[in-house]
Amino acid sequence: MNNIGKFPRLNLPNDSEQPTSSLAESFQSVQDCVPTLDTQLSLKITPPSVARTPFSIQQEPVQLVPPYNNNSALKAAHNAAKVFRSMWREIKVLVIDADTDRRHDLKVVLDFLGEPAVITDGQNWQKYAELSSDSSQDYIAILLGASHTNEKLLTRLQEIREWDNGIPVVIMDGIGVVEDDWESALRHMVIAKLDTPPKYSKLLDTLHRAERYREAMALRQKQSLQHPQSQLQQRRPLHLFRSLVGTSREIQAVREMMSQVADKDVTVLITGESGTGKEVVARNLHYNSDRKDKPFVPVNCGAIPAELLESELFGHEKGAFTGAISARAGRFEMAEGGTLFLDEIGDMPLNMQVKILRVLQERCIERVGGNKTIAINVRIITATHRNLEQMIEAETFREDLFYRLNVFPIEVPSLRERQEDIPLLANELVARLEKENRGSIRFNSGAIMSLCKHTWAGNVREMANLVERMAIMHPYGVVGVKDLPAKYRHVDFSEEEFEVDIDLPEVQTTVVGIHDTTLLPEEGIDLKDYLTGLERNLIQQALNDAGGVVARAADRLSIRRTTLVEKMRKYDLQRG
């Protein structure tokens, strides 16, 4: 791969110059776009030519020659001008870096990739960015490099967040690290760190992640503007909705159906494979309904023995059966005014299906052993991973109950059907671990690509278990393909290796064994200095080999982690 430094330097404008205008911005006024009619009523839209360094683009006039009358031609001219202006709205990357060479090289690479870039040295960058675009929403990401004033990374991130709290930030190497004790929103703004020169695949992967992040934040801000009160009320249970994260069409369709039915007091049937988050959908429906202040009561119909299910749902009176020493309210009564979630409704025995059907029809129950009718005010949401229509054909599920439950069906897609959501979902699962103080982890692009190719039989639940497992095995480390369990490796390890373009002189290395005899020089040595240097070098090698993970380095040296930390402090060693 070509080194960025090998690109020929092009005559790009300096930061002090006025930013290059795009085609739409070069129009001096609306009149510049207004079409002119010649004597033959041919419609012409002739935008001024735009010179863009290093190339010059001359736009040809757009000509339409319709046999219209004057009014039709003017109307067509107005519509054509409107479409023409909208076609030239660009999405850009903002590069803030005091390093002139690196700033120039990034500009060349981004232009080559077809990503328009606005570059600035960091002084009055906000004003410069606003001059270069109509809105901060036109920027897909910020590439953040060095600062003239040696400003701390935390302060610069806070400035960016005040300017636009939904824009992702990619930091360049050597400008600082993101600390674990920073505010969560600031930590999540930084989606990647780029080395210079960046790898082609790494840069494309980062830009793709930035686009997904931008879309997700825009959707979240739109929802908060539409439902400001509900956002405050949902702040408590937000951690329950992690598996609804995503920007794929499938999950957006689920959200759309949920928004349509959440405030409607109708029965909902949620279908989908195990682990897709059916209970999460049910809880989301409850917390977005008028019943959100009342109980949400879940019941797993497959986990309760058939002979106890009736008592569990409807309750029982004292002495109704052996062991019933006191009266007990059932789940229907416990959910009064709220929502009753019947999970795995397909596992309910036929005799209970008849009684559930009567409850749906009459909206009243009777306790086991009692003769008093109790009116209920409960919304019923059901879920199953089974195909109920096939069960109807096999006569293991009542058809009349199916149509009572299937008022508003929602099918939750499997994870393999929305693989584009896996990177964002992984970030959210890691964020949940961090919030619960259970560690942290990061996946590199190769690992994410491998996870996207997995079939995920257990869906979101399986992925959550994998993230937690990796956080235990590689605490605060970066997980690559080779670190994943064998069943999740669908990418060759060699794709993770970095190529080195610099020709290094051949150096013959010598590996010293533990049992090798070391020869004493004729002039003698300072034994204390020799042993100190040897220990320091071996510790640094172990840290480099372990990628800076102290626990792994301690294992390679067969010492305790705390001992290694003390020696690192003694020798002033840093992680690799």
Question: What pLDDT, in 10s, does the model give residues 540-565?
Answer: 888 888 877 888 888 888 888 888 88
What is the pLDDT at residue 403?
Answer: 93
Residues near 262 by Cβ (< 8 Å), separated by ≥ 6?
284, 285, 288, 289
Q: Which residues pair with 43 in a beta bridge?
A: 37, 64
Higher pLDDT, 284 or 237: 284
Architecture per CATH, 238-411:
3-Layer(aba) Sandwich (3.40)
Q: Are 269 and 405 in contact (CB under 8 A)?
A: yes
Of 84, 90, 7, 21, the residue nearest 53 (C-alpha): 21
What is the pLDDT at residue 75?
Answer: 43
**pLDDT surpassing 50 at residue 23:** no
Q: Which residues pair with 443 in a beta bridge?
A: 479
DSSP-derived 3-state class of residue 328: strand
Q: What is the mean pLDDT of residues 213-223?
A: 78
Higher pLDDT, 172 or 414: 414
Band (484; pLDDT cuts 50, 70, 90) = very high
DSSP-derived 3-state class of residue 524: coil
**pLDDT surpassing 70 at residue 509:** no
Higher pLDDT, 256 or 91: 256
What is the pLDDT at residue 19?
Answer: 41
Percent of the chain with pLDDT over 90: 26
| SS3 sequence of 145-187 | CCCCCCCCHHHHHHHHHHHCCCCCEEEECCCCCCCCCCCHHHH
First to last CA, the chain: 25
**pLDDT surpassing 70 at residue 58:** no
Q: Are 415 and 374 in contact (CB under 8 A)?
A: no
**pLDDT surpassing 70 at residue 259:** yes
Band (20; pLDDT cuts 50, 70, 90) = very low
What is the pLDDT at residue 28?
Answer: 35
DSSP-derived 3-state class of residue 115: coil
Percent of the chain with pLDDT over 70: 74
For the ranges 6-20, 53-67, 232-246, 522-536, the maximum mean pLDDT occurs at: 522-536
What is the pLDDT at residue 48?
Answer: 37
Q: What is the mean pLDDT of residues 383-388?
A: 94
Pick the CATH number of 415-496 from 3.40.50.10490, 3.40.640.10, 3.30.70.1890, 1.10.8.60: 1.10.8.60
Q: For the chain, what are the domain ranges? A: 23-87, 92-221, 238-411, 415-496, 508-576
What is the pLDDT at residue 205?
Answer: 80
Q: What is the mean pLDDT of residues 150-161?
A: 82
- Whether domain 92-221 has CATH 3.40.50.2300: the reply is yes
Of 86, 120, 415, the residue nearest 272 (C-alpha): 415
Asked which of 27-31, 261-265, 499-503, 530-534 is least confident by mean pLDDT, the reply is: 27-31
Q: What is the mean pLDDT of residues 168-193?
A: 82
Distance (Å, whole) CA 426 – CA 430: 6
Pick the CATH number of 508-576 from 3.40.605.10, 3.40.50.850, 3.30.420.40, 1.10.10.60: 1.10.10.60
The Cα-based distances of 225 to 174, 221, 232, 238 in angstroms read: 38, 6, 12, 17
DSSP-derived 3-state class of residue 303: coil
- Burial of 203 (C-beta count, 10 Å sphere; 0-12/13-18/19+): buried
Backbone angles phi and psi of 95, in degrees to 5: -105, 120
Q: What is the mean pLDDT of residues 353-373?
A: 90
What is the pLDDT at residue 190?
Answer: 87
Q: What is the mean pLDDT of residues 227-250?
A: 55
Distance (Å, whole) CA 525 – CA 93: 58
Helical H segments across 493-546, by residue range: 527-545
Other beta carbons less than 10 A from residue 480's beta carbon: 21
**pLDDT surpassing 90 at residue 532:** no
Same fold yes or no, 238-411 and 415-496? no
For the ranges 205-214, 222-231, 276-285, the maximum mean pLDDT occurs at: 276-285
